[in-house]
Chain A
Amino acid sequence: MSQFIQILILGLSLGGVYALMASGLSLVFGVMRIVNLAHPALIIAGAFVSYWCFTLYGIDPLLSLPISATVLFFVGLLLYKLVFEREARNAKYSEMTVLLTFAVAMVIDGFLGTLFSNTQRITSPDYATDAFFFGEIFIPKGQLYAGLVSGAIILALELFLRFTRIGYAIRATTQNRAAAELLGVNVNFISLLAFGIGVALAGAAGSLVSFVFSFFPAKHWEWIAILMSLVVLGGMGSITGTVVAAFLLAVVAAFVGAWAGATWSTMTFFLALFVILLVRPQGLFGEKPENA
């Protein structure tokens, strides 16, 4: 029984991190219908920001989180202006953007790989290897803090979307782009902003990732399918759905990992993706997409 609870706790704390990693992806898809395959590469970029802050200046990754989020926010604005803005009028828009983000992911991967080489790295603040003990059960501090911080960020994002004017505009654009534009929402500006926020979320997630997982530039290919499975299971564009899916799949993966070994725990996400696409392509919380 205690083992069961132990696995559950580990799964839940990882689920929190996954939720933050995938929420930016979900936001960007919701507002712009861009399936951002470069999202995990941007997470790695964020992880590198925190890694160097820690290695060079000794700044704790939890404190450098705002730094990497800000840096990545501007990277996001730049990416949108350079790459995605001009694609908005393309008839095959959503397919085009998938290919484009794929290419952008390669650029980021190659760029980071050239600069820092593909060696495994991890930020190691004291708490990353420490744990709280409750009798037989332990909670790793690193994962707990990461889970709590990402929970706080997602909550802040949700409040921002619900109670600010810009939040209204973002949600309106998600629901119906044309109608939002008719009602006076500056859809282009909102898209730019939402893309920036989405990439900033990737940066924030990167800071947490930097001490929870070891990372290297090419690792993002592995994460693409993992994060996609969360977004697809939750329903493309639904942040709530993504969060629920993250906890669900992280816990299932933790049990699979404990039962069959770590290799197969990653497999859970990929197989889940196939099953969802087969059984319920619109996901748990999604509406039926217009083109399926």
Chain B
Amino acid sequence: MPETTATPDDIEGVLKARKAYNEDLTRTARKGRLWAAPIGLVAVLAALPLLQFTGNYNYLLHLVLYILMYVTMASSWNILGGYTGYISLGHNVFFCIGGYFSGMLLAYFDISTILTAPLAGIVAAAVGFGVGLITLRVRGPSFIISSLALLMVVRILFDNWAFIGGANGVTLRLMDLPVQWSKLPYYYAFLVIAIATITTSYRIKHSKFGLGLRAISQDEVKAESAGINTRFYKVLAFAISAFFVGMAGAVWGEYLTYLRPNIFLIILVAANMVLMSIIGGKGTVAGPIVGAIMIVIFNEFFLVTLGSSEINILATGVVMVLALLFFPNGLVGTLANKNKLPRFLDWD
């Protein structure tokens, strides 16, 4: 009878061949990727403030800054909601925590939030890690409910915490730059944060960690039995996604020059993060970016034409219902399924 048991040498050979094959695959995929698009986009965005030499484009800068902030938040939400499949409807809690942490440092020690933003991110991530240990024990609808409850709890705490101004909030100092340049520090801060978030999101998606997260979103029990430490993976994803949202909150607070629970902790902010990721394409790198651009412009259009925030809530809700019913995979996801995704959007 011939020997059928594989020797360690055989296995090593197979593994080596597989590794070579995989590397080959990634190389061809990389070759097909259009690096010019993102690099060109960043260059244009970095050069955009030069417009200020020719006139007053503060509104345009504000709009781009606002989009960059939501790109950060939606991409960040996507790490948990898109890759891992745990949908959080209370993610603006970390936005608020980041905003207040840095805002308080600014109010008491006069340190710009742009410098303390990473610290705010770490605080938000630490809170996220702690909360995740508790709430990520449940799955599906129960997790969604617990995220809403978290939002309510934090809202009550911040509304009643006298040290940080309670429901009336705190006023922060104004920048002493001339009006023409006053938006620039925040603009570049958000640009850097957005790039960092997207890079992280890309790196996660193309790593073993990201593969584990996607396995969790497909079938957690099987992922666990395949040897993935699902609990650690989930909680880490939660913390990472809280980190960038916290950083965005920190800079946003100083940019607005005041902190108040009802600018950070309203349901519309959370809904926007979810909606942008879904409408762009949940679980893709480019999706939340596309979604953020679409929704911010759409919102701005509604604000200009219709005014009042109530009708804005109505419009956001209607768009969300339609998107969920007819485009559950989002723009990027739907196009990818039909093999019609333009190359500059194909970052997966």
Contacts and interface: CB of A to CB of B under 8 A. Distances in A.
A107 interface: yes
B266 to A, nearest CB: 9
Interface in B302-340: 308, 310-318, 320-321, 324-325, 328
Interface residues on B, range: 35 or more
A190 B154 CA distance: 39
A110 B314 contact: yes
B137 interface: yes
A187 to B, nearest CB: 20
A105 B321 CA distance: 10
A270 interface: yes
Contacts of B141: 35, 94-95, 98
Interface stretch (B49-57, B102-110, B142-150): B142-150
Contact of B153 (A94, A100, A267): A267
Interface in A259-289: 263-264, 266-267, 270-271, 273-274, 277-278, 281, 289
A109 B149 contact: no
B229 interface: no
A2 interface: no
B142 A292 contact: yes
B156 interface: yes
A157 interface: no
Q: Is the interface of B mostly helix, strand, loop or mixed?
A: helix
A281 B142 contact: yes
B317 A109 contact: yes
Contacts of B328: 90, 96
B142 A232 contact: yes
Given A87-B325, A110-B311, A222-B152, A277 B144 contact: no
6 contacts: A96-B328, A103-B271, A106-B267, A110-B311, A114-B308, A273-B146
Interface of A: 35, 37, 83, 86-87, 90, 94-96, 98-100, 102-111, 113-114, 117-118, 217, 221-222, 224-225, 228-229, 232, 263-264, 266-267, 270-271, 273-274, 277-278, 281, 289, 291-292
Given A102-B320, A292-B140, 9 more contacts: A95-B141, A100-B321, A100-B324, A118-B310, A222-B152, A270-B149, A273-B145, A281-B138, A291-B140
